[in-house]
Amino acid sequence: MTYQHDFKQSVQHPEEFWREKATAIKWFQEPKQILTQNAAGFYRWFEGGQLNTAYLCLDYHIEQGRGDQDALIYDSPVTDTIEKFTYRELRDKVAKFAGVLAAQGVGRGDAVVIYMPMIPEAVIGMLACARLGAIHSVVFGGFAPHELAVRIDDARPKVILSASCGIEFERILPYKPLVDKALREAQHQPNAHIMFVRSQQPETLDGPGEVDWAQAVEHAEPVDPVPVDAHDPLYILYTSGTTGKPKGIIRDNGGHAVMMKWSLGATYDTHPGEVFWAASDIGWAVGHSYIVYAPLINGCTTILFEGKPIRTPDAGTFWRVIAQHKVKTFFTAPTAIRAVKKEDFEGKLFRKYDVSSLKYLFVAGERCDPATYDWASQLLGIPVIDHWWQTESGAPMLANMAGYGLQPIKRGAAATPVPGFQMEILGEDGSILGPGEEGYVTIKLPLPPGCLPTLWGDDARFQQSYLNRFPGYYLSGDGGYKDADNYFYIMGRVDDVINVAGHRLSTGEMEEMVAAHPAVAECAVVGIADELKGQRPVGLVVLKDGVEIASDVLEAELVADIRAKIGAVAFFKTCIVVKRLPKTRSGKILRKNIRMLADGVHFETPSTIDDPSILQEIKETLAQEKVGLAFV
Ligand code: COA
Ligand code: AMP
């Protein structure tokens, strides 16, 4: 089948297209209907189907004779460990740990929060939830206790899983104080906190509800997979929206399994028995889909990497892993490639390894800038494929799909829509824009299987955030344009979301925190361009009348506050005092123009601006403080 054929079929006859794709997974009970709408009018896939995602990831492959193949390779340069798990070994560990959870009262439909570093137990915890029909919610280990508490209160887990520490480069980060603090802040209290104690950070677990992972496993009975409905949630993954309250993206079992099964072959050209590596974190959607679910559902070997692209121990670490484990397909973020490029521009470390197994490098998380693309493709001599997706989709929406045979690669473009995603660029008034015209990146409904069916406990927010702006279309929150060949160019968010080193963060949330400082009358937090991280947040504050505080003192307080509340990943390091903020006559702060000033991007002064002289004032302050690529 050609890409063109499948794309056409997927948008003209979505039910037939996905009915056929659904035959690739083993259902306990076949779906009765392919596409339906619920009472709220939201689309649902595979009504009446019954399955178990952990069964598809593990037991199914053992039945097919893959029991002795490596399912998971844990490669941890920070602990100097490499550990391999066959499908059978992983299944046995998951089944036993499911027994631990069941003994704590976890069953179908119960939520479990997982706050863990990149260790096998994190994957075992996720799959054990799936085996029971429970709903996991993984919280990225880089988030601070406040963020964990917010997620605990929203997901209302029966149990929380953690480990005694994470390891960042050479630093041991004890997790217990973080979990304890989050539990003190949260209103909701789980029944149990099961902790995997790592040798790097011993802990005594004697508080109420505290359970030692290893001891509990010793006494546990293995559990068989529990059939669940296709519509039952497999997981909730919180992602940044425009306010302090994160959005709980739901992934259902049925649509997700079908999409994961199909996409690994169709988009990534990776097949049973081959080695796939997504150098992401299980705290992000990429980690859920392409470290855990898609490679395992497809009978591949997946790599769980506990390290960074650099300094673990050096910028050759990616190439060492690829050579050592014979990776065919590698997925990372452009920011990680930039980090490697900075430290090994000549490729001296790269040349130490035989990476002949590698056929593709896929990048996502932010736009792959042409300089990064050029460097990586020249160094590697293989296709470097930018593709676009979101936590909401759980799978690529735009990609040069290797499984159909690659189309020409265009630098700066995320290529063409993946079958199932009927993308349109819409103007302010909802009209469909043509090639070269920049507007809102949207997808005509229905979204294909695996995309969020709604937000956890919040249909109204789902409707309002994604569906109301352009009826009949999903609003991605990104802006961009397409060219005459239907290649799409994603140019960045049109809302208060930024991407810092591949981490999705809300400037709206940071703004709420800055605004809460007693000295601050009003403020704006904007994402400005950063050479390494893609974007970084910068605060601009106007002081309250009569308040006297040195700007460096205020900056230090706000930096510490955001680090403590959101976490170090927020990378909020700069906050400058300005006299006034530029606004429209209706009082809306012109954040986009502040960002463009810092980035040195030319723009016409907006006609709606209240006082154009403020833009000049801001420009002078940014220049004086050397904030922004335009001024360094
Ligand atoms: N647990 C605890 N802290 C964490 C963490 C985690 N899981 N991840 C990051 N942090 C901390 C870091 O230690 C750092 O703290 P510091 O300010 O005290 O040094 C801070 O958060 C910022 O981390 P990070 O954004 O990762 O920057 P870095 O300078 O440590 O590394 C890169 C830069 C580019 C190497 C790294 O960001 C990277 O590999 N990014 C790719 C991310 C990715 O793959 N995302 C998935 C998208 S598909
Ligand atoms: P997340 O939900 O964390 O995966 O972040 C999704 C956001 O990251 C998107 O809305 C985009 O803004 C950005 N993004 C992801 N991949 C790309 C890409 N290939 N090109 C441009 N932006 C991207």
**Is 464 within the bounds of a domain?**
no
**Is 434 within the bounds of a domain?**
no
Q: What would the mean pLDDT of 1-12 be, rounded to a whole number?
A: 96
Position 422 scores a pLDDT of 98
Residue 632 has pLDDT above 90, yes or no: no
Q: Do 411 and 503 lie in a common domain?
A: no
Give the DSSP letter string of 584-617. BTT--B-HHHHHHHHHT---PPPTTBS-THHHHH
What is the Å distance from ligand 2's center to 451 Cα?
15
Position 148 scores a pLDDT of 97
What is the Å distance from ligand 1's center to 569 Cα?
6
Give the up-direction half-sphere exposure of residue 218: CA atoms within 13 A in the CB hemisphere.
Answer: 6
Q: Do 51 and 140 lie in a common domain?
A: yes
What is the Å distance from ligand 1's center to 307 Cα?
10
Position 195 scores a pLDDT of 98
Please give the C-alpha separations between residue 409 and each of 1, 113, 563, 565, in angstroms, as whole numbers. Answer: 20, 40, 39, 41
Q: Do 536 and 411 lie in a common domain?
A: no
**Is 600 within the bounds of a domain?**
yes
Phi/psi at 213 (5° precision): -55, -55
Q: Do 411 and 547 lie in a common domain?
A: no
**Is 481 within the bounds of a domain?**
no
Q: Which CATH number belongs to the domain containing residue 569 in this structure?
A: 3.30.300.30
Cis peptide before 225 (omega within 30 of 0): no
The strand pair at 50-51 and 228-229 is best described as: antiparallel
Bridge partners (DSSP) listed for residue 497 = 506
Q: Do 417 and 553 lie in a common domain?
A: no
Instruction: Confirm or reject: Cβ of 393 under 6 Å from ligand 2.
Output: no
CA proximity to 159, closest of 126, 213, 99, 114: 114
Q: What would the mean pLDDT of 227-232 be, rounded to a whole number?
A: 98
Tell which of 369, 396, 422 closes a domain: 422
Q: Do 506 and 400 lie in a common domain?
A: no
**Is 488 within the bounds of a domain?**
no
Mean pLDDT, rounded, of the chain: 97
Q: What is the pLDDT of residues 74-126, one digit of tens each?
A: 999 999 999 999 999 999 999 999 999 999 999 999 999 999 999 999 999 99
Number of domains in the chain: 2
CA–CA separation, 203 vs 197, rounded Å? Answer: 7
Reduce the DSSP state of residue 444 to 3 states and report it.
strand
Residue 1 has pLDDT above 90, yes or no: no
Q: What would the mean pLDDT of 417-432 be, rounded to a whole number?
A: 98
* Domain ranges, residue 75: 3-307+387-422
243 pLDDT tier (thresholds 50, 70, 90): confident
Point out the least confidently predicted range of 3-7, 14-18, 165-169, 585-589.
Answer: 585-589
CA–CA separation, 239 vs 340, rounded Å? Answer: 27
Tell which of 402, 422, 442 closes a domain: 422
CA–CA separation, 198 vs 190, rounded Å? Answer: 22
Q: What is the pLDDT of residues 577-627, one digit of tens each?
A: 999 999 999 899 999 999 999 999 999 999 999 999 999 999 999 999 999
Q: What would the mean pLDDT of 251-277 be, rounded to a whole number?
A: 98
Q: Is the dihedral of CA 623, 626, 628, 629 positive or negative?
A: positive
**Is 49 within the bounds of a domain?**
yes
**Is 331 within the bounds of a domain?**
no
Instruction: Confirm or reject: Cβ of 121 under 6 Å from ligand 2.
Output: no
Provide residues with CB under 6 Å of ligand 1: 141-142, 166, 168, 173, 279-280, 284, 286, 308-310, 332-333, 335-336, 339, 364-365, 501-503, 568-569, 571
The strand pair at 43-47 and 33-37 is best described as: antiparallel
CA proximity to 328, closest of 382, 270, 377: 270
Q: Which CATH number belongs to the domain containing residue 89 in this structure?
A: 3.40.50.12780
CA–CA separation, 286 vs 373, rounded Å? Answer: 20
**496-519: burial string, b at 16+ Cβ within 10 Å, e else:** bbbbbbbbbbbbbbbbbbbeebee
Phi-psi region of 132 (alpha: psi -120 to 50; beta: other; left: phi over 0): alpha
Q: At what angle do helices 14-22 and 253-266 cross, to 10 degrees?
A: 90
Ligand 1 nearest atom to the CA of residue 166, by list position: 1
**617-627: burial string, b at 16+ Cβ within 10 Å, e else:** ebbebbeebeb
What is the Å distance from ligand 2's center to 491 Cα?
10
Q: Do 523 and 400 lie in a common domain?
A: no
Tell which of 422, 442, 471 closes a domain: 422
Q: Do 527 and 402 lie in a common domain?
A: no
Q: What is the pLDDT of residues 164-181, one digit of tens each?
A: 999 999 899 999 999 999
- By residue count, the chain amounts to 632
Q: Do 412 and 504 lie in a common domain?
A: no
Q: What would the mean pLDDT of 406-431 be, rounded to a whole number?
A: 97
Q: What is the pLDDT of residues 178-214, one digit of tens each?
A: 999 999 999 999 999 999 999 999 999 999 999 999 9
Q: Do 393 and 542 lie in a common domain?
A: no
Instruction: Confirm or reject: Cβ of 239 under 6 Å from ligand 2.
Output: yes
**Is 470 within the bounds of a domain?**
no
Q: Do 532 and 416 lie in a common domain?
A: no
Instruction: Confirm or reject: Cβ of 365 under 6 Å from ligand 2.
Output: yes
Residue ID of nearest Cα to ligand 1 atom 23? 569
Q: Do 166 and 269 lie in a common domain?
A: yes
